[in-house]
Amino acid sequence: MNLENIHNVYFIGVGGIGMSALARYFRFIQMNVAGYDKTKTPLTQELSAIGVDIHYSDDISLILDMYKNPNNTLVVYTPAVPNNHTEYQYFINNGFDIKKRSEVLGLITKDTFCFAVAGTHGKTTTSGILAHLLKETGTPLTAFLGGISEDFNSNFLLEGTEYSVVEADEYDRSFLRLSPNVACITSMDADHLDIYGDDKNIKKSFMDFVGCIKPGGKLFVKSGLPLQGITYGIEDDSDYCIKNLKIEHGTYIFDLGTPDTVVTGVRFNKPGRHNLLNGLVAFAMAVQAGSPPYRLAKALETFKGVQRRFSYRIKRDDFVFIDDYAHHPTEINAVFDAVSEMHADKSTLAVFQPHLFSRTKDFADDFAKSLSNFDSILLLDIYPAREEPLPGITSDWLLKKIDNQNKKVIAKSKLVSEIKKQNPQVLITMGAGDIGLEISKIKEEFTYAN
């Protein structure tokens, strides 16, 4: 496909976080953009405000005529779209150039100096930090993020086209469409077993991704992963390493060792050792763009965060409300560790919305163990996303596995009243489904509470 021949881009699933970033890109370069999504959200409303024509019914008649010419229209779809989707079938059967989001991302970035962030956890935060560091040091970049950066209030940044920052998503083996110059792998835990079947296959896919790096490119890997590359870690002998770590007033302060130098007194404000590692590898990757380490260190201190990645929604002495995208046991453990480190000896209430029936089934015992660490647990119903229900796999089934007496399944409509009843010192909401839509309700209720 030659993008120069394309005038119109149509998205099936335009409201997805990755899809909407691509839609913003094509609008920015003055293409006509339209799409379908099943639900109106703040993201789709923002797209509509910049001229993206969106409808919310799977109906061919709602597609504008200009997007029905296969000679000048590119159709982009997300793997979450079912095969029997009417619009999807229309484009398939009428000779359109129809591509997955990952294919288009690969085409856009193949002629840039591409930074790709891979791993089962940490992609969005790491790529958000990397984009922030490069922007702050004057690097001409385009960034496609899987979350809303609090630094530039978007999942898309266009400061130039020489460099690009992308998330290398392992779902559906999407990251094999990329050809990065510099890549990192933050983690290789078992996930997406509906795609891979077992842990062995997902690890093989990461090995295949390493093979996509351009000749002469560089790979950064978290210390301890079974891969050859430039290592990074905390208080170890990694190539890039955090040393002399301490916490003052909720801020990490440390020395940062590189193969060439040591930067002292670096400050980073996002809680959690996992976020420290994300910041470290983003720093290491940004060095490859020629940015001076001391300037990158100053930029690390000003990173605000990514929405729903250990985001403080309320932070008072008597009440703390943290929201996080955690939807895997390892991520829940990381949230618990960060809360324990930053808010020791305070009572915790975790609200968790399981994401996908298959993931809940595959990791039920691990979810139960992770959630049991909190003082009290509330489970919402499983968010199905692209899946049909699995017999017997429910939040009530998961609840029985949790080794904690303070637990219950609750409807969203009763969530705020239950939180008020329990009166925790630290409230944590977690999940990758629509739990994010409850955050503003909770925040409004507790912002002025005594």
* Residue 123 assigned as binding residue: yes
| 119 annotated to bind ligand | yes
Residue 377: strand pairing partners: 350, 407
User: Tokens for 260?
Assistant: 């060439």
264 marked as binding residue: no
Residue 44, marked binder: no
Which helix H or strand E contains 412, and what residues bound it?
none
Residue with tokens 């002998």: 237
Q: Is 192 annotated as a binding residue?
A: no
H-helix segments, 314-438: 329-342, 357-362, 364-371, 395-401, 415-422
Report the relative pairing of strands 348-352 and 230-234 from DSSP bridges. unpaired
- List the helix and strand counts (H, then E) for the chain: 15, 21
**Residue among 201, 178, 200 at smallest CA distance from 123:** 178
257 among the known binding-site residues?
A: no
125 is in an annotated binding site: yes
H or E element: which one contains 101?
A: helix 101-109
**Structural contact between residues 323 and 311, judged by C-beta atoms closer than 8 angstroms:** yes
Residue positions counted in the chain: 450
Q: Which residues contact 285 (CB under 8 A, 6 or more apart)?
A: 115, 117, 130, 182, 184, 220
CB neighbour list of residue 289: distance below 8 Å, 6 or more residues apart:
113, 115, 134, 137, 139, 163
User: Nearest Cα to 179, choosing from 115, 110, 248?
Assistant: 110
Q: Which residues are annotated as a binding site?
A: 119-125
Q: Which residues are annotated as a binding site for ATP?
A: 119-125
